[in-house]
Structures are given as C-alpha cells and as structure tokens.
Amino acid sequence: MQRAALVAFGARPGQLGSWPLARLFHAGLRLLATNKELLLRLRKKTGYSFMNCRKALETFGNDFKQAEVWLHKQAQKEGWSKASKLQGRKAKEGLIGVLQEGNAAVMVEVNCETDFVARNARFHQLVQQVAVGIMAHHQDAGKQLTTYVKRFLKAEDLSQLRTVPEGRLLSDQVALAIGKLGENMVLRRAAWVAVPSGCYVGSYVHGILPTDGPSMIKVALGKYGALVICEALANSPGTNLVDMGRKLGQHVVGMAPLSLGTLDDEPGGDTETKMLAQPFLLEPNLSLGQYVQPHGVSVLDFVRFECGEAAELPGAQESQEEDAMPLLASPPAQGV
C-alpha cells in the first residue's frame, strides 16, 4: 500500500527508497482526506461503521468495489459466527409478510427474539428478501394452470432459496441480519399459491407495518396473515374481487377456521371451525357461505399464519395440480 501511495503522489518506482517515512505519512493523510466523499458513500451504501469502511478503503487503496466486497464478506463471517452462538435461543417474535404478483401470492413467517427487532427496517428487508426469493423460485410453476396450486416450504427449504437479483442464499442473508441486529433469527415457514384464469387470491395482513424507503417492494407486514383462494362465478360481474378477497382474508385471520367445510353445512356459532359455516366476521347474522353466495364467489381454500404459533405445517408440498413442479430446483448450499 505504501508503494501505491508513493506512486500515486508522483514518485518513480526507482526513487521509492529515498522517500522518507514522514513524507509517506503526510502523503497518506492527504490521500485519505481527499477521499472523505468516498468514505461517506461507502458508509451510506453498505450501512457498516465508519471505522470498518475506512479500514476497507485503506486495505484496497481506495478501490470502492473491492472495499464493498470485503465488507460484505467480513460481515457474513461475523454473522455466521454470531448465528452459531445464538442458535437455540427462542425466537417467537417476528413478522408475517405477504407479497402478491399477478395470479400468485406468497406468505412467509420470519422469527426473531424481540418485538424491538421485528420493528427494525433491516428485519423488514430480510422478510422482503424471503418473499421475493420464493416468488421468483416459483415463477414458472404459476404459468398455464388448469387448477390452483398450494405449496408449503419449511425452514430447510427456505434456506436454500436465493435472493433476487443478487442470487445470494437466504441462509447467508439471515446470518448477515443476525450479525447486524444481534438476535437469533429463523426462516420458519412459507406458503405459495397460484391460481388459473377465473380464480383469484384474496389476502389480508393484520397489524400492518409500513415498509421503509422507495426501494422496498410492496410486501405487507404484520403479526397475522391469510391467503384465500376464490373462484369468480358467472354471476359475479359486479363484485369487487379485491375488496371481497380482503374481507375473506380478514375473516380467516379473525375467526381462525380449521377447515373449509361446504355450503351444505349448517351455520354454526362462535366455536364453529369450518370456514363456510362460521358467522361472517363483518356480518355475524350470516354465515360466510351465505354471505359469498349472492356475490357469485366460491371459496376454494385458505392459508392462515399467526406469528409465533405452535401449529405445524402440512407436508412440505401440498398441491391441487397433478403435474406440479418439484419444490426445490435450487443448487445445494455452498459453504461460507
């Protein structure tokens, strides 16, 4: 680095031995002073401390790109080290994230130890990365469907997926977040659903938290979430399907049904667990089945997540489509 600094200030390679250390020292100070803007830019882009950013720039002779790569590698190493130490600590707080794109929707749960971290923008970004990664992984499976598809992913499945567009393993992103925020974090579970033409997915998230910054993709965040798969029948042209889907999702979150049931089921009371027989949350004098029928909507299925609940997921993959693609097509995890 000393040789590079001297050459940068006009010394010829053959003259390096004659330059006194004091002159080198002052030259180095001037070099750092002129790159204060570079230091600020690296700090703003990476979010790491001024001390670490300065060290990175000094190590690589003010090469911004190499300094940034080095910072990420160091943070990842430290994150994995901290993650191994914190592994096993209870992580029952966190967030549910819901992302919808076209005919598909993703719902994910990511856990942390405290509600304080769950409100942190860095944690919100992690939930977003997980939701977007799942959606990208399943993009081909959502094409040319003849019936709806519903899939569940557990922690081991999620850790092998990759971020978009960077292509980093989600397990590495969790390690980075752990290193940054100092709490144990877990990619707990996710659901992905897609529907064919004539069907749609309603969604609702309770306790919605705002996303930070213009770069954040529209991922709804909260403590409870629901996806409801519906079919729009011939007599539903005047029905606002988006609004109907939100109301049905709100019902699933509030009434916590355990099964769908049928329209032939007798309307039940507050302890009823079959969705179509439950009193509709927003109009309790009607069962949910009685409410949707005149609107020309048929409810086909639903998924409900409550952050921190003890409920187990069904099998890793549950599909209504016979020729569903394999759950994971990603390459195996690479060592850090």
206-252, pLDDT tens digit by residue? 986 655 444 456 899 999 999 999 999 877 777 788 999 999 999 99
At residue 82, the pLDDT reads 56
Fold (CATH) for 19-86 = Helicase, Ruva Protein; domain 3 (1.10.8)
Q: Considering the domain 93-306 in this protein, what is its CATH number?
A: 3.30.479.20
pLDDT by residue (tens digit) across 57-93? 888 888 888 888 877 777 666 655 555 666 678 889 9
Q: Give the integer Cα–Cα distance in Å for 134 and 132.
A: 5
Distance CA 221, CA 207 (A): 7
The residues, any chain, with a CB within 8 Å of residue 22's CB and separated by 6 or more, are: none
Cα–Cα distance for residue pair 159/170, rounded to 1 Å = 5
320 three-state secondary structure: coil
324-331: long-range contacts (C-beta < 8 A, 24 or more apart)?
324/141, 324/149, 324/151, 325/140, 325/141, 327/151, 327/153, 327/157, 328/137, 328/157, 328/160, 328/161, 329/137, 330/137, 330/160, 330/161, 330/162
Residue 61 pLDDT: 82
Cα distances (Å, whole numbers) of residue 120 to 5, 116, 201: 41, 7, 29
- Would you tell me how many other CB atoms lie within 10 Å of the CB of residue 322? 7
Mean predicted lDDT score pLDDT of the chain: 80
Structural domain boundaries of the chain? Answer: 19-86, 93-306
Query: pLDDT at position 191, please?
Result: 97
